[in-house]
Structure 1
Amino acid sequence: MTETELPELPRGIALAWGVAANPQRGPKREMSVEKIVDAAVELADAEGIGAVSMAAVAAKLGFTPMSLYRYVTAKDDLLLLMQEEATGLPPESHLEIDGWRGRLLALYEAQILLYLRHPWMLSLPITGSPITPHSSAWLDAGLSALEDTPLNAEERMAVALAVTGHARWCGIVQAGYTEQSRSSGLAPEEVAAREAALFDRVITAEEFPALRRGIDDGVFLSEADPFRFAVERTLDGVAVYIAGLDRGDAHAAAADWVGLDAAELAGDRRLKEAQKAVREAEKALRAARKLERQTLREARDRVAKAKKPA
């Protein structure tokens, strides 16, 4: 490929944009990429992403797996198209809201609903920037909400990604609780109560003091939404930063990415062995400290008992 030659679109992305070549021959009965994707999404919604295979989708449509491969040549392409279909377009209603903050919060809530309707989306790997039409539309909506602010292009992208990240993390946790509730037959509040009871059994003040205080304060039984609190406080910080820019403050310096050292990326065997030894030593240290705390607690109990009058 020369410097001026553009890379060829992967077939899955080309299918998503509607620019992939259609098969010359296909099943006698009507078939299309859209029908294949719709059937796959229905399977995933009903039974989870593990139920989706080319054979299962073909059976649902009444065709052979080889018939599907004429339209979607790889399962990875099918997963990409399923994600694109389930994602859909951002709701037009967010445009009726005034202000960058209100629009971003509306997009945040809409994204969480997507994950609750299609929790299997959360198990698909993130392999890079969103290049498909619907995913691009969501990112565009977030960036558009910030266009009238003094944020520069990099800052607008950072804020849009932060809101998306908050929504995804909230979706992961909420979808997990929903799945537990469905599989156990317990109400969501009963699932939370069971989880709180398990934490209560294993978390000690000696080993995890801050977490123990949180449990005693009832954080796992609280009805408050910690994810909404977090995204609101993130946007509070953005609002303060924007106010500073309006006053004439300089833009913050760009931060470097967190990344692995080149030696780690190279997969050096001796380095991996050394890192494993460090992890084992840290594990042994934690176990020793736990034993120390337990022994100290038992010694205190013995002293207390000895001081009691007979």
Structure 2
Amino acid sequence: MDDTVDEIDLPRGVALAWGVAADPQRGPKREMSVEKIVDAAVEIADADGIAAVSMSAVAGRLGYTPMSLYRYVSAKEDLVLLMSEAASGLPPESLREIDGWRARLVGYFDAQVSLYLRHPWILDIPISGSPTTPNSAAWMDAALEALDETPLDEQERMAVVLLVTGHTRWYGTILASYARITRDTGLSPSEIAEREAGLYDALIQADDYPALYRASRAGVFRSRADPFRFGFERILDGVAAYIDTAPADRAAADTTWAADETADVAGDKKYREAQKVVHAAERALRAAHRAERQVLREARERAAHRTP
């Protein structure tokens, strides 16, 4: 991590996620750790949802008092942040092996949706801003990296990533909700769809809702087609069409939504080559910092288990 972190007053949850928070001075160090607390909380959330997670519930699962947990995680909101960080993990390395920006973003989309289905409670955590923890930042970095070989500038790449992640979250919310209905009712997805289609058939009349009536009678609610993936593919079609636009035309387009300080040299070949070198160096530096944090965690674990 950059040395400037020392000049920033990091929230404790964020500091814990980056491994720069001070360890507790007292307490059952050998038996307890932030990692064990977070793992126990994730197990509770996976089984019963985020609402079931409390400091007392986690303490009870570990066999300690709630006060002993506060020596390690001082607030529930910090615990929830660390839970999301742990459950998210790092993006699959296999994404880097996929050729082409579009195919890689599809792989990213599928990986994120799978994550939401494994840990649907993540979707119940309110969004409080841009990612500021290592794993959440790594997911965003992976999506941005998929666009490295495109002519898009940094503002445009970020806009595409936000579009993709927004659709991914919405799709994950829908799938997780239907999975929850299946668990609660025992109905299969096809049975749920048939029940909903039957309700539309019974309630939607041509005189009141003509367009919806036509859609219902056409069988859209019984179709096995996936409208959300269809929508995602059309999003990528739009991005592809934008990328195919000549750079000169793009520079002349209305881009008042973003102030690009380098627009006048964005098409310069040497400048773009220099940007690629910088991006590669930044990725290498982030990888080195991740390795450093891992070695630091391992060193702390060894120190905690040494005989006094």
- Asked if Structure 1 and Structure 2 have the same fold, meaning a TM-score greater than 0.5 normalized by the shorter chain, the answer is yes
Equivalent in the alignment of 1:250: 250
Cα distance between partner residues in 2 of 1:178 and 1:156: 32
Q: Deviations over 1:66-96 (max 9, x none)?
A: 0111111111111111111111111111111
- Residue type of the alignment partner of 1:176: S
Q: Tell me, yes or no, if the aligned pair for 1:39 and 1:60 is still in contact at 8 Å.
A: yes
What are structure 2's unaligned runs of at least 5 residues?
1-5, 259-308
> Displacement of 1:150 after TM fit?
0.7
Counterpart mapping for 1:109-148 below 5 A: 109-148=110-149
Give the deviation of 1:211 after TM superposition.
Answer: 1.8
Per-residue deviation at 1:6?
4.5
Q: 1:150-186 CA distances to partner (integer Å, 9 max, x unpaired)?
A: 1011110011111111111110001111000000011
Equivalent residues in 2 for 1:88-237, closer than 5 Å: 88-237=89-238
* Distance in 1 between residues matched to 2:215 and 2:179, nearest whole Å: 23
User: Unaligned regions of 5+ residues in structure 1, if any?
Assistant: 258-310
Deviation, structure 1 residue 231: 1.1
Distance 2:126 2:246 in 1: 36
Mapped to 1, the partners of 2:72 and 2:159 lie a distance apart of 37
Deviations 1:117-148 (A, max 9, x none): 00111111001001111110010011111011
Match in the other structure for 2:15: 14
State how far apart, in whole Å, the 1-side matches of 2:181 and 2:150 are.
42
CA contact (8 A) 1:12 1:81 kept: yes
Amino acid at match of 1:250: R
Post-superposition offset of 1:254? 2.9
Instruction: Sort the Cα spacing of 1:82 and 1:94 in 2 relative to 1 into closer, same or farther, 3 A.
Output: same
Q: Distance in 2 between matches of 1:244 and 1:256?
A: 18
Task: Give the match's secondary structure for 1:204.
Answer: coil
Partner letter of residue 12 of structure 1?
A: G
CA distance in 1, matches of 2:205, 2:131: 43
C-alpha separation in 2, matches of 1:204 and 1:72: 56
Q: How many residues align?
A: 252
Q: What residue number does 1:65 align with? A: 66
Q: Distance in 1 between matches of 2:112 and 2:126?
A: 17
Aligned amino acid, residue 18 of structure 2: W
Cα deviation for residue 198 of structure 1 reads 2.1
2: CA distance between counterparts of 1:197 and 1:118? 31
Within 5 Å, give how 1:80-95 maps onto structure 2. Answer: 80-95=81-96
Which residue of structure 2 aligns with residue 46 of structure 1? Answer: 47
Specify the SS of the correspondent of 1:221. coil
Q: Percent identity over the alignment?
A: 63
Change (3 A) 1:192 1:13: same
Give the alignment's TM-score, normalised by structure 2: 0.78
Q: CA RMSD in A?
A: 1.6
Partner letter of residue 211 of structure 2? A
**Greater RCO, 1 or 2 (C-alpha within 8 Å, sep 6+):** 2
Secondary structure in 2 aligned to 1:250? helix
Match of residue 75 from structure 1: 76
Post-superposition Cα deviations, 1:169-206, rounded to whole Å, max 9, x if no partner, equal: 11000111100000001111111111222233322223
Larger Rg: 1
Secondary structure (helix, strand or coil) at the match of 1:135 reads: helix
Answer yes or no: is the 8 Å Cα contact 1:150–1:245 preserved in 2.
no
CA distance, structure 1, for counterparts of residue 74 and residue 256 of structure 2: 41
Which residue is 2:298 aligned to? none
- In the aligned structure 1, how far is the partner of 2:78 from the partner of 2:128? 13
Shift of 1:207: 2.6
Task: Name the aligned partner's letter for residue 249 of structure 1.
Answer: D
Q: Is the 1:146–1:156 contact (alpha carbons within 8 Å) kept by the matching residues of 2?
A: yes
Q: Which amino acid aligns with 1:25?
A: R
Distance 1:33 1:245, change over 3 A: farther
Distance 2:38 2:204 in 1: 45
Q: State the one-letter code of the partner of 1:156.
A: R
Q: Which residue of 1 aligns with 2:266?
A: none
Aligned partner letter, 2:44? L
168-177 or 201-210, which moves further after superposition? 201-210
